[in-house]
Amino acid sequence: MREAIRLALAIAAKDVRAELRSRTALLSAVVFAALVLVVFNFARDPTALAATDLAPSVLWVTFALAAMVALNRAFTVEREHGALDGLLLAPVPRGALFLGKLLANLAFVGTVEGVTLPLFVLFFNVDLTAALPGLIGVTALATIGFVSVGTIFSAMAVRTRFAELMLPVLLLPFMVPPLIGAVQVTSRLLAARPLSEVAGWLRLLTLYDVVFVTLCTMAFAAVVDE
Amino acid sequence: MTAAEAARVLTRRGLLISVAALLGLAGVYVLALGYTPVEARQGLAQKIFYLHVPAAWSALMAFSLVGITSGLYLWLQDPRLDRFAAASAEVGVAFSAVMLTTGPIWAKPIWGTWWTWDARLTLTLFLFFLFIGYLALRASVHDPAERARFSAVVGLLGMLLVPFIHLSVYLFRTLHPQPIVLKPSAPSLPPEMLRTLLISMLVFTALYVGLVTLRYGLGLAEDARDEATDVAG
């Protein structure tokens, strides 16, 4: 168990290091998320809808689109120069390999979300001071779930024709429960309502994480092993 | 018996069951229109219930069986399970198309709107999309073994998405009629309605069996053809 965690961390560290050396993908994803926020701001009629009414949905659609962009490249880099084959030849249990890729993707998506949040506050003029800890918590809870499913789908999508199209088509239905939950919780947080109102959603999000992280870890071998 | 012969037998059997089920469906129409009473508040619009609910039942059964056979495939690696899952997914998409078209036709006079973003509607729509994605994935992977493994993973994960759909139904305010047959107390339908519904569900189940058998036979024939052309090429 400890060995598997060590291996997973090593794989995640490799990905993070590779990302920090080039930084192009991370920068592009951040710019993409910022652009989505800007587009949303112009896609609403300011005389009819207050920015704060739309804020939770805008935030989560932006997060979902940014995660999609990030996940699309997660295994594309491994395909170049047969890097994935090298990784598969190494004596690493497939579950540990999956957790490593998951951690790397979470670091990537988490960074994009972390940069997007201040921009969101700036553009949509919402006051986050009281809601911030709760918001970080629910973001982590929802993100772990869909990035986990996204990681395994991304490993499949790169092996198909139309990879860039296949991932969103497969992943979006899986994003629906975490996104609905996250939007519900976020709107309650922004309205300064007590968390007890959304206890059901928080339980659902946690259950989703537990079920899908476990299942994806177990199923990953079927995706990468010939 | 060669694969091609088995395929021919299965497609013929599937066709036979499907035709019998379609005749049964005509009988369900007769029962629904002539035998069941007109519902007091919804009037004739309620008749669509005898199609909508069984179609939904067949679609959900189809998708559950895709999930179960997908899980079993990952364990047993039997190509028959994969072929069955593919057939069931295709038939399931057809039944959910029936469910998703009859629903709005009923909803317009009763709810006053074709579509509402009610939890159950939204999520069955996404279930439909999920299986369209499943079929798209199958179409875009060439290697049969890889296609089987990939689609089994999607099928298994898809089945586990269903309970989350149901949990969301109860958490999200819902407009959809609440369960009236499968509930803890006795079904609250008049006996004629219940009988017709049950007959219709049997007919739809038979139609499902017929279409899946047909599609399975076709899948078998396709595999035999691919194998033959691979050997020749």
Residue range A165-204, pLDDT digits in tens? 899 999 998 998 899 899 889 988 988 888 888 888 899 9
B137 and A166 in contact by Cβ < 8 A? yes
Instruction: Report CB contact under 8 Å: B122, A222.
Output: no
Residues of A in contact with B156 (CB under 8 A): 215, 219
- What average pLDDT does this structure show over B28-48? 84
Work out the mean pLDDT of chain A and round it to a whole number: 88
> Which pLDDT band holds residue B192 (cuts at 50, 70, 90)?
confident
The predicted pLDDT at position B181 comes to 61
Provide φ and ψ at B43, rounded to 5°. 70, -145
Q: What percent of chain A stands above pLDDT 70? A: 100
The 10s digit of each residue's pLDDT in B66-75 is: 999 999 999 9
Examine the pLDDT at A220 and tell me if it is beyond 70: yes
Select from A84, A94, A159 the residue whose CB has the most chain B CBs within 10 Å, as the one to mutate to test that interface.
A159
pLDDT for B233 equals: 55
Residues 6+ apart with CB under 8 A from B38: B44, B46
Q: Among the listed ranges B7-16, B114-123, B140-149, which one has the minimum average pLDDT value?
A: B114-123
Q: What is the overall mean pLDDT for chain B?
A: 86
**Once rounded to an integer, what is the mean pLDDT over residues B134-150?**
92
pLDDT tens per residue across span A47-71 = 777 777 788 889 999 999 999 988 9
pLDDT score at B170: 65
Residue whose pair of structure tokens reads 């057939």 in the numeric block: B87
Mean local confidence (pLDDT), B119-126: 77
Label residue B182 by pLDDT band (50, 70, 90): low
Tokens 């019998």 found at: B20
- On the question of pLDDT at B169 being above 70, the answer is no
pTM for this model (two decimals): 0.87
Reported ipTM = 0.89
| Radius of gyration for the alpha carbons in chain A, expressed in angstroms and rounded | 18
Query: How many other CB atoms sit within 10 Å of the CB of residue B111?
Result: 14
- Per domain, the residue ranges of chain B are 3-174+190-227
* Residue range B143-155: mean pLDDT, rounded: 93
Contact list in A for residue B126 (CB cut-off 8 A) is 172-173, 176
Contact (CB<8Å) B141/A162: no
Structure letter (DSSP) for residue A162: T
Interface check A128 vs B, CB under 8 A: no
The three-class DSSP label of residue B39 is strand
With a pLDDT cut of 90, the percent of chain A lying above it is: 45
DSSP state for residue B43 in the 8-state scheme: B
Q: CA torsion B165→A168→A23→A26, rounded to 10°?
A: -40
Determine the pLDDT at residue B71.
93
Q: What letter represents residue B151's amino acid?
A: S
Interchain contact, A177 vs B165, CB within 8 Å: yes
Give, as one character, the DSSP assignment of residue B143: S
At A19, list the tokens: 């990302």
Give the residue from chain A lying closest to B164, CA to CA: A177
Average pLDDT over residues B87-109: 92
CA distance A218 to B153: 10
Q: So what's the pLDDT on residue A140?
A: 95
**Which of A140-154, A209-223, B176-190, B207-221 is predicted least confidently?**
B176-190
pLDDT at B174 over 90: no
Q: Cβ separation of B152 and A222 shorter than 8 Å?
A: yes
Q: Which residues have C-beta within 8 Å of that of residue A91, sequence separation ≥ 6?
A: none
pLDDT score of B20: 94
Question: Can you say whether residue B41 is alpha, beta or left, with left for phi > 0 and alpha for psi between -120 and 50 degrees?
Answer: alpha
Q: A113-117, B21-25, B193-197: which has the minimum mean pLDDT?
A: B193-197
Which residues fall within 8 angstroms of residue B117, CB to CB, at 6 or more apart? none
Q: Are A91 and A20 in contact (CB under 8 A)?
A: no
pLDDT at A125 over 90: no
What whole-number distance in Å separates Cα of residue A97 and Cα of residue A100? 5
| Amino acid at the residue A190 | L
Asked if pLDDT for residue B156 goes beyond 90, the answer is: yes
Nearest to B87 by CA among B111, B63, B107: B63
**pLDDT higher than threshold 90 for residue B159:** no
Q: What is the pLDDT of residue B189?
A: 80
Given pLDDT bands bounded at 50, 70 and 90, which one contains residue B110? confident
Give contacts of A 129-168 with B, CB under 8 A: 149, 152-153, 156, 159-162, 166
Report the candidate in B83, B135, B134, B67 with the shortest Cα–Cα distance to residue A153: B134
**Looking at chain A from residue 164 to 193, which residues have their Cβ under 8 Å from any Cβ of chain B?**
166, 169-170, 172-174, 176-177, 180-181
